[in-house]
Amino acid sequence: MISAELPPGGVGAFLVWGDPALYDGTLRLLREGPADPPLEIVSVPGISSVQALAAAHGLILNRVGEPVLVTTGRRLAERGMPADVPDVVVMLDGRTAFADLPDTDLDIYWGAYLGTPRQILVAGDLREVTAEIVARRSAARAEAGWIMDVYLLRRR
């Protein structure tokens, strides 16, 4: 499309879900794209689902002077909650990895369809709200035919 549709000096745009800086391949693809004509790539920042999650729950993601890790459901399932990072944001978790964590000192702030009319929020002690999140996630996915969700795990 770039080769066929863009005239010399023309401008094209890709609409990216959230912000292109986080778990999105658009910028990588464009850099690997056609070299002729040469592309000047401009990234316009958006609101990532992580920012939308924090705003929806009224959260500051980090504790004072502490780091935040942004990772995937797959890595959380493989490696568990890191011992040295108290706040972990988890994306791309189609398998509800939080439900299998052995930790007893975690709070979860979960959000689905953030920023849309379908938005769902659940927060609380992970052990107490896991069943509710799993059930609501499953029901919402069945009804809508798709789901996108993201969550913060916070060690108390």
Ligand X SMILES: C[S@@+](CC[C@H](N)C(=O)[O-])C[C@H]1O[C@@H](n2cnc3c(N)ncnc32)[C@H](O)[C@@H]1O
Binding site for ligand X (CB under 6 A): 17-19, 22-24, 48-49, 91-92, 111-115, 148-150
Measured between alpha carbons, how far is residue 144 from residues 6, 56, 123 in Å? 36, 21, 22
- Nearest distance, CB of residue 141 and ligand X, angstroms: 12
β-partners of residue 89 are 70, 152
Residue 75 φ/ψ, nearest 5 degrees: -70, -35
Give min distance, CB of 11 to ligand X, in A: 22
On whether the CB atoms of residues 105 and 155 are closer than 8 A, the answer is: yes
Q: Which is nearer to ligand X, 123 or 148 (CB)?
A: 148
Closest approach of ligand X to the CB of residue 111, in Å: 6
Nearer to ligand X, 109 or 113 (CB): 113
Going by C-alpha positions, the residue among 59, 100, 62 that lies closest to residue 79 is 100
Give me the least distance between CB of 72 and ligand X, in Å please.
Answer: 8
**62 vs 119, which CB is nearer to ligand X?**
119
Nearer to ligand X, 10 or 117 (CB): 117
- We find the least distance from the C-beta atom of residue 43 to ligand X, in angstroms, to be 12
Residue nearest ligand X, CB atom distance: 18
22 vs 135: CA distance, rounded Å:
28
Nearer to ligand X, 19 or 87 (CB): 19
Residue type at position 108:
I
- CA dist 156 and 29 (Å) reads 40
